[in-house]
Amino acid sequence: MAHRYSNGMPLQKFFVEEEQSFIEWLAYNAVFEPDTSTYVLNRAIETRQRKASIERLGAFLQMESFLSEEVPLSRAFMQSQHEIQNSIVSRRKLLVDNWPRVSELKVGEFSSYSPYAFLNRKHKRWFPTDSQRNAAVAILPYMKKKQFVHQRTDSRKPVHFTYVRRPGYYAAFNSGDIISSQQRYGIGLIWTPETGTVLQSQTGSGDSAWGTKAENQQHVYEANSLIAEFSIDDKPVSPQPGNHDLPNGVIAISYPLGRNGKKVVLFRESEIRITITHNGPFTEYIPLLIGQEDRFDIEKGLFSLHKAGKTVKVKIVPAILPAVIETSYTVGEKRIVPVTLSGNRNLTYSIQFDSNRKRGD
């Protein structure tokens, strides 16, 4: 709204710059689900937007950006002109077919007596064509490149967000000081080009957040501040404020599990390897996203997730039998299904992907 009133004035550029920064951040933290208009979020870092139930949260269909004419990347997250017209026709038909019956007014909710239907009526709305939207999707970082390591560090608080793209997968890792008690750090998101989101850690959760939980502990260690050390090809990397592309090697992230042990996450070419050393029994939580057509097989030392003709395997050493927790939580059209691994002192598991890398790439 403020941008509308600054149009053509020197102040306008500041709104455009702020929108550009936000969209660039979103582009690393929202992953595109194949054959849908849905994006799944790196949501475990949320500090505000959380309800009593996380059911059906953690994803969004489209957003509307009034600045998308000037910030092309934002078009990736919008409805196209064609979709808007179809939506208007569909909503009009629904209104005519059901008139005079209308939805009951939900008193007390934000939208009950919202003034924005009138305040925004004269505001300019801009939507991309299908080709403009598709072009924006193609330049999302993890769509544009098959190999990178990118790190974004807050200049005000010691929090670090690390993004790793390999031919077979894309992953987000969150670390630093906890800002809100609902946050969960560590691996927040794992995505593959063919299957979409494989893993998503959940905000404020005791059993659907990725991480390690000691015996009789309510939450995973990753619910606390996570002070990590980084290295690439065995060379230490010190996070610096701002946004940086790091050398494109094997990145290792290690951090203490309270005073009880250590965890090392290694991002390799076609696998993510997690090694846990812990004083006493513990449980590892791996929150998978399972679609209606997906299935997974469990056996001692291995479970396999079959999605869209591809298989993601998790191999476990020592060879223990994984367990499954059924929840009612969903993200878009997918169910959140945590798989747990019970360990004692030492545990290593590898999440393995098809790299689809051709010789010479």
H helices present in the chain, as ranges: 2-5, 12-29, 81-98, 116-119, 130-138, 141-144
- The Cβ of residue 56 has, within 10 Å, a number of other Cβ atoms equal to 13
pLDDT band at 3; cut points 50, 70, 90: low
pLDDT in tens, 245-265: 999 999 999 999 999 999 999
Q: How many CB atoms lie within 10 A of CB 65?
A: 20
Whether residue 45 contacts residue 202, with contact meaning beta carbons closer than 8 Å, is answered with: no
The residue type at 295: R
3-state secondary structure 118-176: HHCCCCCCCCCCHHHHHHHHHCCHHHHCCCEEEEEECCCCCEEEEEEEECCEEEEEEEE
| Beta partners for residue 152, in sequence order | 161, 243
In angstroms, the CA 264 to CA 33 distance is 29
Q: Which residue has the higher pLDDT, 167 or 119?
A: 167
C-alpha to C-alpha distance for 153 and 228, rounded to whole angstroms: 13
Q: Does pLDDT of 50 surpass 80?
A: no
Residues of the chain above pLDDT 70, percent:
94
Q: Name the pLDDT band for 56 (thresholds 50, 70, 90).
A: very low
**10 Å Cβ neighbour count for 223?**
23
Q: Decide: pTM greater than 0.85.
A: yes
Among left, alpha and beta (phi > 0; psi -120 to 50; other), residue 65 is: beta
C-alpha distance across the termini of the chain, in Å: 46
The amino acid at residue 259 is R
Provide the residue ranges of all domains of the chain, joining segments of one domain with +: 2-50+59-138, 145-352
Asked if the model's pLDDT at residue 8 lies above 50, the reply is: yes
Q: What whole-number distance in Å separates Cα of residue 254 and Cα of residue 223?
A: 16
How far apart CA 165 and CA 246 sit, in angstroms, is: 12
Task: Return d(Cα 260, Cα 278) in angstroms, integer.
Answer: 6
Tell me how far apart the alpha carbons of residues 118 and 122 are, in angstroms, rounded to a whole number. Answer: 8
Q: What integer pLDDT is reported at residue 110 of this predicted model?
A: 72
Q: Could you tell me which residues are beta bridge partners of residue 212?
A: 284
Q: What is the pLDDT of residues 318-330, one digit of tens each?
A: 999 999 998 888 8
Neighbours of 79 (CB within 10 A): 19
Q: Would you say domain 145-352 falls under CATH 2.70.98.10?
A: yes
Q: Please report the pLDDT score of residue 345 as a whole number.
A: 94
**What value does the mean pLDDT take over residues 132-149?**
96
